[in-house]
Amino acid sequence: MKIMKLFIPVLFLAAYSLHSQTTIVEQKNIILEELHSSDNSAKHHGLTRLFIVDMPEAVPVLEQIIWNQDRETAGTILALLTYYKSANLISLAHEYLARVDTMRQNENPFFKEDIPQLKYKVTSCLFRMGDYSTFQYVFDKIERLKPKTFFGSAVMLKRILFNVPGYELQAKTELLRIISDTDSEERQAALDVLAEKYGDSVSVLVKSTFANTSDEALRSRAMKLMLKYDHPEIKDLLYARFLADTIDNWLYVGVILKKYPTPAMYELLLQSLNNITSNNQSIGTSLFIFEPPKPDTSTSVLQMVQNLNSLIDTSYGYGWIGNASFMQELKGYMNTALNKLQNGDSLSCAIEVQRFSDTVYAEFADSLERTQRFVGLGGMNFLYYNALYALERLPSVPVSTKLDVLTPAIAFTGYGGFALEVSGKGFTSASKVLWNDSVRTTTFVSDSLLRASILASDVATVGDKIVRVKYDSASSALSDSMVFSVVNTLPKPVRLVIEKEIDSHNGTMTAWFGYLNVNDRSVYIPVGDKNSFTPTPIDRGQATIFLPGRHKYVFGVTFPNTINIEWQLNGRRAKAGSVCED
């Protein structure tokens, strides 16, 4: 559509529209009639519509009528032939250039154009077809308009620069003049053309443009070119611009860190905030959202873990993390991770790296004040994100294995083994329950529940036993720990409650029992001398695990209504039957 703009004023085009009631075939027939019309207004209407209606079958008609027209109309026809890629365009364009000086001018002042401008437009058509033989008309227009420039001049000069070797120097000279013209809107395009042609050999020009121009768009273009060709002074130039620019200085933060994403550069920008009085909040935001680049695939996981260890030292040196004790804590995670990785245990390495990243993130979130364990912005960005990058290359870390509840958590000594339920999160079918760091037979129930077989020997002596969960048999990763207490005497009582007695009127009664466990942990009391019914049988389906708190209607016992039954639990009694006593 750009070709259309070369020959037909926009206002004239806007004056016409296709009638919505006519079919495409009817429209085309009308256009053909208008092209053959002797009425200039009808003819121009038809030519205009050819830019809107796709009608390549009109090309032979256009080639037939071109020489019966005035020079402006013939120029419009050439534009249409370019638009439709006529096979005869080049020969017709050259013939037009030979004839145009003697062709009549359009009588309508609205369409009149001078001959040099028409020759330039036809040259543009030829350039589009790869014919550069009439390049001189481009230079003629440039000379006519000097010292001003015109829209599209950089593109036309580019085609000469690349395709007319004998006039390369002249085209280059004109492009340099355009760049120096502070009123020209072609400066960016001209700079691009020279950079495309000569690459980093125009680095001096690009540098000068970046450092000296007041045109922000042109400076931005020069900056992109310096980055593209890795100008040797780009770092100093960008930093100097960052300090000097009071309007767009914050924009340079992202550019600088993308090119130089190092802790040293980040610290330099952080320290520069002390000397900058404008856009500090925006600069701070740019520093906050910065993420260091991911290492490429040639970087091994071992190198990534070693780099994290080095980054801890760097962060401590810049004051991005707390005191030496906290630094050693962080290094402890990474040293363990490194050791695990070198021993082939990549999962345990991943778990240590995860703990490291969790610690960094948590301390950064809590670092409103600089405590001994604080993590500053630089530490967060370089330590946390590089830890995440390492985790992406390591085996997936399971949901952190964490214990919530042991059921039971208290038992009497000397009463044999039992099933221990361990509730928490992050369990797998390979997880193992540890009793004082010894593996016990473990049944996987769900990712939040394991059941372990505790031996009689495990509760043979009074004392606190440590319960933990090992993620799997191949890993050394352990959960947090919980305490199981083996006792001779309960810390607090478990009280019995008769909830309700129901006479079935068939010679039996049903008594419903509950309890109140005053302890804050569940208690295991197996059926036996501390948990029994009288008369026999001593086992009437009573509870053996007593959860903390009040629990109603835990179990019911049906018995003849001619007797009493009594539940005895650790010295406490509850009697039900025809005669009830407290």
> Which of 326-330, 425-429, 453-457, 513-517 is predicted least confidently?
425-429
Q: Does the pLDDT value for residue 581 go beyond 60?
A: no
Secondary structure (3-state) at 38 = coil
pTM for this prediction: 0.57
Nearest Cα to Cα of residue 3 among 102, 128, 100, 111: 128
For residue range 415-445, list pLDDT tens digits in order. 999 999 999 988 888 889 999 989 999 999 9
Q: How far apart are CA 526 and CA 517, in angstroms?
A: 15
Radius of gyration of the chain (CA): 44
Q: How far is CA 445 from CA 392, 438, 480, 522, in A?
A: 29, 20, 19, 20
Residue 238 token pair:
């960008």
Nearest Cα to Cα of residue 430 among 418, 447, 416, 408: 447
* pLDDT the model gives residue 542: 97
For residue range 48-92, list pLDDT tens digits in order. 889 888 899 999 999 999 999 999 999 999 999 999 999 999 999
Q: How far apart are CA 81 and CA 91, in angstroms?
A: 12
Are the CB atoms for 493 and 537 separated by under 8 Å? no
Residue 370 token pair:
């600089």
Q: How far apart are CA 284 and CA 361, in angstroms?
A: 19
Q: Spell out the domain ranges in the chain.
A: 301-393, 402-487, 494-577
Options 2.60.40.10, 3.30.70.240, 3.40.1170.60, 2.60.120.620; which CATH number does 402-487 get?
2.60.40.10
* pLDDT the model gives residue 370: 57
Type and span of the H or E element at 406: strand 402-407
For residue range 262-303, list pLDDT tens digits in order. 999 999 999 998 888 888 889 989 999 999 999 999 999 999
Q: Does the pLDDT value for residue 5 go beyond 70?
A: no
Rounded average pLDDT over 340-356? 89
* pLDDT the model gives residue 369: 57
Rounded average pLDDT over 232-238? 91
Task: Strands of 436-540 (E only): list them.
Answer: 438-440, 442-446, 449-454, 463-470, 482-487, 494-503, 508-517, 523-524, 531-534
Phi and psi for 356 in degrees, rounded to 5? -60, -50
- For the chain, percent of residues with pLDDT exceeding 70: 93
Q: How far apart are CA 560 and CA 34, in angstroms?
A: 115
Residue 189 confidence class, pLDDT cut points 50, 70, 90: very high
